[in-house]
């Protein structure tokens, strides 16, 4: 017997997900819960791919293009449990909110999307694919893999990142860049014999500050920003003059720039300013790399880059989404705006060109904090609006 598609069952599913902590690379338990729920709701073609994404299909009544609903299964670290008003993994319901890590980013919306798809069984003119992905919080390995695999070919994607009931249409991309300064190590008692890599740090920071003032701007997404966020020094001994210092830069870019152009820009800005320094120094600029091991045992060496994207606000597809959803408090279509943070939509539209919008409950200001919560009235409203959104998009695609 299939489970009833009710908001109460959706909430119970979200609570189960929150009670199973799932940092990036450790989504296995949550994936099993998602599979179980899909089975209980009568999904077809349920599968887990090589990197651990879980995909299931609610077959459509016709041959309209598929709509893909996507949330991620990983969550960010919870930090000190004592700093939380409600325990991070208890999934307590209090004062009209669901509390805990992942309540809004993104296990509540994940549950809503899964149940909304089930609500469309036999009603949608095309397939509704639900794909919940891994490693979104570390650059979106799961979504990138899913899109590259070609195993799903949706006509549109809906992302479950918090929109507070609005329709979100894009965001800036994020790249993490490393500027590595190399010198010559030496004993701290004899600086003359060394070439201190730290000596170049002020120059690098000056260049970054100067560079940050000339950033491109978009009327919808706002300005691109670049800022230094970290400094690693090697060797770590405090009586050794270091020969290797890494300055870490966080660059929020507009959608039209890729990783090669990013490193080239920074390299050129640095060499224009620091080109004449002592030849015993060397400066390398590259994207920060991370070795990511999925819970299914696959290791990927990848740069930390999430592409940006922006749908045209006047695109008919966006207008259909906004009027299908409607305004939560008031008349007319939903508010259309970008997100402040990055999402897997950067892959689906930014790189793979599949029309993508976001729709979910939750306020951005609670994401990644120890006050994370999901307002249940808003969650219920979104749950009720989701089927119309999918149907609207599907009709627009045919
Ligand atoms: Zn998220």
Q: Are strands 97-99 and 93-94 parallel, antiparallel or unpaired?
A: antiparallel
CA of 73 to the centre of ligand 1 (A): 9
Ligand 1 centre distance from Cα of residue 136 (Å): 7
Residues bordering ligand 1, an ion, CB closer than 5 Å: 105-106, 161
| pLDDT in the model for residue 139 | 92
Residue 267 CA to ligand 1 centre (angstroms):
31
327 CB neighbour count, 10 Å cutoff: 14
- The predicted model gives 235-249 an average pLDDT of 96
Adjacent-strand bridge partners of 44 = 57
Cα atoms found within 13 Å of the Cα of residue 222, Cβ hemisphere only: 11
Q: How far is the CA of 247 from the centre of ligand 1 (A)?
A: 27
Domains annotated for the chain, with CATH where assigned, are 7-171+308-397 (3.40.630.10), 173-292 (3.30.70.360)
CA of 296 from ligand 1 middle (Å) equals 21
What tens digit of pLDDT does each residue of 266-286 get? 999 998 888 766 778 899 999
Has residue 155 got a pLDDT over 80?
yes
d(CA 124, CA 78): 38
Distance separating alpha carbons of residues 160 and 102, to the nearest angstrom: 12
Please say if the pLDDT value at position 377 is more than 80: yes
Q: How far is the CA of 341 from the centre of ligand 1 (A)?
A: 9
Q: What is the pLDDT of residues 324-363, one digit of tens each?
A: 999 988 899 999 999 999 999 999 999 999 999 999 999 9
Gap between the Cα atoms of 379 and 361, Å rounded? 5
Question: How confident is the model over 73-122, as pLDDT tens digits?
Answer: 999 999 999 999 999 999 999 999 999 999 999 999 999 999 999 999 99
């Amino acid at each position: 017997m299939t489970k009833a598609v009710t908001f109460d069952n959706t909430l119970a599913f979200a609570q189960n997900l929150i009670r199973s902590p799932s940092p990036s690379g450790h989504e296995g338990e949550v994936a099993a819960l998602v599979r179980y729920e899909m089975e209980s709701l009568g999904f077809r073609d349920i599968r887990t791919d090589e990197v651990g994404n879980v995909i299931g299909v609610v077959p459509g009544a016709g041959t309209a293009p598929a709509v893909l609903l996507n949330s991620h299964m990983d969550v960010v670290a919870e930090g000190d449990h004592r700093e939380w008003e409600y325990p991070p993994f208890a999934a307590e319901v209090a004062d009209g909110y669901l509390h805990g890590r992942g309540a809004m980013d993104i296990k509540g919306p994940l549950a809503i999307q899964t149940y909304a798809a089930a609500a469309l069984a036999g009603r949608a003119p095309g397939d509704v694919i639900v794909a919940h992905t891994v490693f979104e919080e570390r650059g979106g390995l799961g979504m990138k893999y899913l899109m590259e695999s070609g195993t799903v070919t949706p006509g549109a994607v809906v992302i479950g990142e918090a929109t507070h009931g609005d329709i979100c249409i894009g965001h800036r991309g994020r790249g993490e860049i490393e500027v590595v300064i190399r010198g010559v190590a030496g004993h701290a008692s004899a600086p003359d014999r060394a070439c201190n890599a730290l000596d170049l740090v002020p120059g690098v920071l000056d260049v970054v500050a100067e560079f940050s003032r000339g950033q491109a701007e978009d009327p919808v997404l706002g300005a691109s920003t670049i800022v230094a966020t970290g400094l690693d020094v090697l060797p770590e001994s405090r009586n050794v003059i270091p020969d290797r210092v890494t300055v870490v830069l966080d660059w929020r870019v507009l959608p039209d720039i890729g990783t090669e152009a990013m490193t080239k820009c920074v390299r050129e800005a640095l060499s224009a300013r620091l080109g004449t320094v002592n030849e015993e120094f060397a400066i390398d600029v590259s994207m920060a790399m991370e070795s990511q091991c999925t819970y299914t045992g696959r290791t990927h060496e990848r740069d930390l880059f999430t592409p940006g994207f922006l749908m045209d606000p006047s695109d008919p597809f966006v207008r259909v989404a906004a009027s299908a959803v409607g305004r939560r408090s008031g008349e007319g279509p939903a508010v259309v705006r970008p997100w402040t943070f990055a999402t897997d939509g950067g892959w689906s539209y930014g790189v793979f060109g599949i029309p993508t919008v976001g729709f979910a409950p939750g306020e951005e200001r609670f994401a990644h904090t120890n006050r994370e919560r999901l307002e249940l009235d808003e969650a219920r409203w979104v749950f009720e609006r989701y089927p119309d959104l999918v149907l609207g998009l599907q009709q627009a695609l045919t």
